[in-house]
Structure formats: C-alpha cells, structure tokens
Amino acid sequence: MATAGNLKVLNALDGAKTQWYHFTAIVIAGMGFFTDAYDLFCISLVTKMLGRIYYTKPGAIKPGSLPPNVSATVNGVALVGTLAGQLFFGWLGDKLGRKKVYGITLMLMCLCSIASGLSFGSNPKMVMATLCFFRFWLGFGIGGDYPLSATIMSEYSNKKTRGGFIAAVFAMQGFGILGGGVFAIIVSSVFDARFKAPSYEVDPVKSTVPEADYVWRIILMVGALPALLTFYSRSKMPETARYTALVAKNATKAASDMSKILNVEIESDQQKLDEKSRNNDFGLFSKEFVKRHGLHLLGTTTTWFLLDIAFYSQNLFQKDIFTAIGWIPPAKTMNAIEEVYRIARAQTLIALCSTVPGYWFTVFLIDRIGRFTIQIIGFSMMTIFMFALAFPYNHWTRPENNIKFVVMYSFTFFFANFGPNTTTFVVPAEIFPARFRSTCHGISAASGKLGAMVGAFGFLYLAQNRDPTKTDAGYPAGIGVKNALIVLGVVNFLGTLCTFLVPESKGKSLEEMSGETEKETTDSPL
C-alpha cells in the first residue's frame, strides 16, 4: 500500500520486501550498539577492583572502595558525555546528513574505549582523572550513535517491519551487556588461575596481585573490537533517501541511490518535491512545530527520562543489590580478581535470562501489537515487580529466598526491555519530520541520559543503609535498598502515565506520522 502524495522513492522504500540490505544495515548499526552497551556497563564490573587497587588503606578491615565522589564520577562521567553527544550529533545529523557524521561517532568510540584502558598517572587521583577524561569522550561518541543509528534504520526500513528493524539494532545492547559479562568471566578466570591470591581477610596485601591492574584495563579496551570491524562498512553506506530527498531536496539522487539498493527502476519526483517543500518549512520549536509535535516530544522525553532512572540504577548497581541479599559473598572473603568474576557472573546470568530475551520479544512483537501496548505493559509490570520486591524486602533477604529474589529482579529487566527501554528508542525515530528527526531523537535520548544520571548518582546515596555505622566508607546514611526500590516503583508508575502522550506508529509511513503528507490521503485505511 503506497501513501498517496508521497514521493515514488519513499513509497518504494515503504513497500519494499525485506532484503539483504536491511539485515546489513542492522548489523552495521547494531555493532555500534554492541560497543555502546559493552562500554557503558562494563565499568560496573571493575569499580570494586579499582577501589581495591587504588584506595585500600593498610590495616583496614574491609578492602578499599572508591570514595563516593570518585565512584559517582567514574560511573556517571560517560553518561554526561553521552548526553552531550546525543544533542550535538543529533543536531549535526540533520544539518550535514546521517552518513557524514556516522563514521565519526564510531571512530571516537573505538579510540576512547582503547584509551580508557590505557589510563595513566603517578597516583590514584591522576589515574581516575585520566580514566574519567577518556570515558567522557567515549560517552560523547556513544551519544551520537543513538540518534544516528535509529534515524538511519527507520529511514531505510519498510513500514511493515520498521519497528522490528529499529528494535533489532537496539537489541544488540543486550548482547553487548552479555558480551561484557562473559569476557570479564574469561579474563578474571584466566588471571585468577595464573596468579593465585588469598582472600582479603587472610592476607590484605597479597589478595590484590599486581597483575590485577591488567584485568580492568583489558576488559575496558576489548569493547572497541566489534565496532572496528564494521567501520569500513559504515563508511560505504549511502545517505538515506529520506534525508537526500526531504532535507537535501534532491529527489533525483535519492531515486538513483535507492534504485541501486532495491534493484528496481525508480522515477525522480523532483517537481513534486519542490511543490511539497513549500508547505512544510516551519522551524524546530516554532509555533507550528509545537502545535504538531510539542506533546509528542514531551511524551518521548518524559518516558525516556523516567525509564532510565530505573533502568540505569538497576544495571549499574546490580552488584550492590546482589551483595545486600547475600548472592555475592562479602568482599573480604574474596581476592580482587575473584570479586570481578563473581560480579560478572551475576550480571551475565541476569543478561542471559532476562535482558536479552526481553529485547528480542520486542523485536518479534513490536510490529504485531504496537509500540504503545508494549510500553504500557513494560512500565506497568516493572512497577508491579518493583513493589513486589520492595514491600516484603526483609523476606527476600533471607538466605533461603535469595534465588527467588534474583528471579523477581530479573523480571523487572525482562519487562524493561520487552517494554520502554526499547520502545523509547524506536518511537522518536518515527514520529518527527525528516529535517528534525535526528535532532528530536537526540533530545529524547539526552532526556533519558539525564534520567540515567539521576539513577546512577542518586542510587549510590539512596540505597545506603539507614544506620550510619553500616554505610559504605565515605557515604552518608541513605534510605536503604527497600525504600530505594519503592522510589523506583513510583518512577515506573509515572512512566506508565506519560506513555499516553506518545502516538502509535505501527504500520504507518514516516511521512504520515510526521505530518509531512498530512494533507494527503492513503490508498486504503490502515
């Protein structure tokens, strides 16, 4: 079914059968997201080790840990960079074109991922400062990948399977988290077997062998490899036909480019494009934009903001929750490398059992039941499971209930990914005009990263024990894990309400959703 009044090249894309170039685009864009997730979340695997290596005090009862301000910075600086990159590269993608900017973000990610592992300094403060510097710019590159990958995939896709294709790109995040955990297990196992060390309580000094400094560096650097493998392919991707036609105003080139990819002859509609362009020339944040898309942008920003508060606090601080319920032994009973292994194993199990399946449930169902339905289900179930964990929290902390707690906790991840974590990425790439699409996706994603920072920084303090004598070193008393989980449940409920601001885009062309053909009609009702 073609959209009446639309350019022939865009109708050809909307009606195209699933072809090899679709899968090629998914792999090329997806490898960037594999690296994104690996780099953002692998830091949570090694922060405990960094504390042992650089902040252990002689004679202390417990191993060293990163001071609160250092821990917050190490965990959050990449998120700050990501937010800045989403806004900058999102805007640049609309100004210069998706293709011109796409390779820059990938190379920046790869270089800074490697540089993070080479962080240097004559004292702990300098090492952490260098690490944070490179992780900021790593995040800056990762940020650009969000709006560009989503926009490119949406503009390449047909309208029947567009949601699944965009979701498949984002689903590579799950494999990135899983890959980070698996690689950390392998590296820590090899080093622990090669360099035997006693637990901290047996010998505080020998429990952290000098070779442990290589472990965290190797884990951080390896994330660059998958993205490097796709750099050449990224550089050879043609500009999307929608950008070429609707933004660059060159329908002839758009038709020529897509004729080669689709292997069909497509006529140029340059005259029709010139006529249509005069009717859609309003600017970003103009009165006309606010009238048409103001509520949509409010919906995409608020839902992503609320989702990431819960999602990132869960992901970055899994190890703290697992330690609190006894699933990871006390730090003093392990050596430095064994602790990395235990944390990585816990994260890998969660990713394997709930995170990855949740993403792919969305991929297979998003074009069947719709974005709105999946997002409502996801937020609602996350709310229910958070409250189910929080209110009887003392019950879950009993040793006989630890596995049950992890199962319940895993369900919150499943419904985050079979839910708003995926749909908040998909929808902003579908509902805004082509000339603002990358920018608006970047704004929505940046709002999410603002929420991630609230989750990452806030949960560090919120989840601390209410008894000041039982908090981690350097932290003030918090509200405890139980009350922190209640707060996250309320956040998820607010996300459910804000979902009603977001329109359903299932089965509609990008031009129908953006209003770029709103004065036109379609051949038959959807």
pLDDT of residue 275: 61
Lowest mean pLDDT among 278-282, 346-350, 427-431: 278-282
Look up residue 337 and give its amino acid: I
As a three-state string, the secondary structure of 195-250 is CCCCCCCCCCCCCCCCCHHHHHHHHHHHCHHHHHHCHHHHHHCCCCHHHHHHHCCC
pLDDT of residue 474: 65
pLDDT for residue 368 is more than 90: yes
Give 197-230 pLDDT, tens digit per residue.
999 999 989 999 999 999 999 999 998 888 788 8
Query: Side-chain half-sphere of 507: how many Cα atoms within 13 Å?
Result: 10
In a domain, 130, yes or no: yes
pLDDT for residue 272 is more than 70: no
**C-alpha–C-alpha distance, residues 378 and 455, integer Å:** 18
Highest mean pLDDT out of 278-282, 357-361, 517-521: 357-361
Are residues 154 and 440 in contact, defined by beta-carbon separation less than 8 angstroms?
no
- Band of the pLDDT at 326, cuts 50, 70, 90? low
Lowest mean pLDDT among 222-236, 273-287, 327-341, 481-495: 273-287
Element housing 306 (H / E) = helix 287-316
Q: Report the b/e string of 198-233 with b at 16+ CB within 10 A.
A: ebbeeebeebbbeebeebbbbbbbbbbebbbebbee
SS3 115: helix
Would you mind telling me the total number of residues written for the chain in this entry? 526
pLDDT for residue 276 is more than 50: yes
CATH code (residue 43)? 1.20.1250.20
pLDDT of residue 522: 39
* Of 278 and 464, more confident: 464
**C-alpha–C-alpha distance, residues 6 and 15, integer Å:** 12
* Of 480 and 29, more confident: 29
- Band of the pLDDT at 382, cuts 50, 70, 90? very high
pLDDT of residue 305: 96
**C-alpha–C-alpha distance, residues 162 and 103, integer Å:** 23
pLDDT for residue 112 is more than 90: yes
In a domain, 258, yes or no: yes
Count of CB atoms situated within 10 Å of the CB of 525:
6
**449 Cβ contact list (under 8 Å, min separation 6):** 79, 80, 82, 83, 86, 143, 308
**C-alpha–C-alpha distance, residues 46 and 222, integer Å:** 14
Give the position of tokens 């940020």.
Answer: 143
Share of the chain above pLDDT 70, in %: 91
pLDDT for residue 128 is more than 60: yes
Give the position of tokens 């499943």.
Answer: 414
SS3 55: helix
- Band of the pLDDT at 11, cuts 50, 70, 90? confident
In a domain, 373, yes or no: yes
**C-alpha–C-alpha distance, residues 73 and 290, integer Å:** 36
Q: What is the DSSP letter of 353?
A: I
Are residues 27 and 234 in contact, defined by beta-carbon separation less than 8 angstroms?
no
**Structural domain boundaries enclosing 440:** 18-270+286-508
pLDDT for residue 401 is more than 50: yes
pLDDT for residue 4 is more than 70: no
Query: Side-chain half-sphere of 445: how many Cα atoms within 13 Å?
Result: 38
Q: DSSP of 249-292, one letter per residue?
A: --HHHHHHHHHHHHTS-----HHHHHHHHTT--PPTTSHHHHHH
Give 162-190 pLDDT, tens digit per residue.
999 999 999 998 899 899 999 999 999 99
Report the domain count for the chain: 1
**C-alpha–C-alpha distance, residues 383 and 471, integer Å:** 27
Are residues 54 and 127 in contact, defined by beta-carbon separation less than 8 angstroms?
yes
**C-alpha–C-alpha distance, residues 145 and 250, integer Å:** 25
For the entire predicted model, the pTM comes to: 0.88
Q: Percent helix, strand and coil across the chain, each rounded to 5?
A: 75, 0, 25
Are residues 119 and 90 in contact, defined by beta-carbon separation less than 8 angstroms?
no
pLDDT of residue 227: 79
In a domain, 515, yes or no: no
**C-alpha–C-alpha distance, residues 371 and 365, integer Å:** 9
Give 456-488 pLDDT, tens digit per residue.
777 767 767 777 776 666 667 777 778 888 888
pLDDT of residue 397: 74
Q: Mean pLDDT over all residues of the chain?
A: 86
Highest mean pLDDT out of 73-77, 88-92, 325-329, 391-395: 88-92
pLDDT for residue 520 is more than 70: no
Give 291-320 pLDDT, tens digit per residue.
889 999 999 999 999 999 988 777 655 665
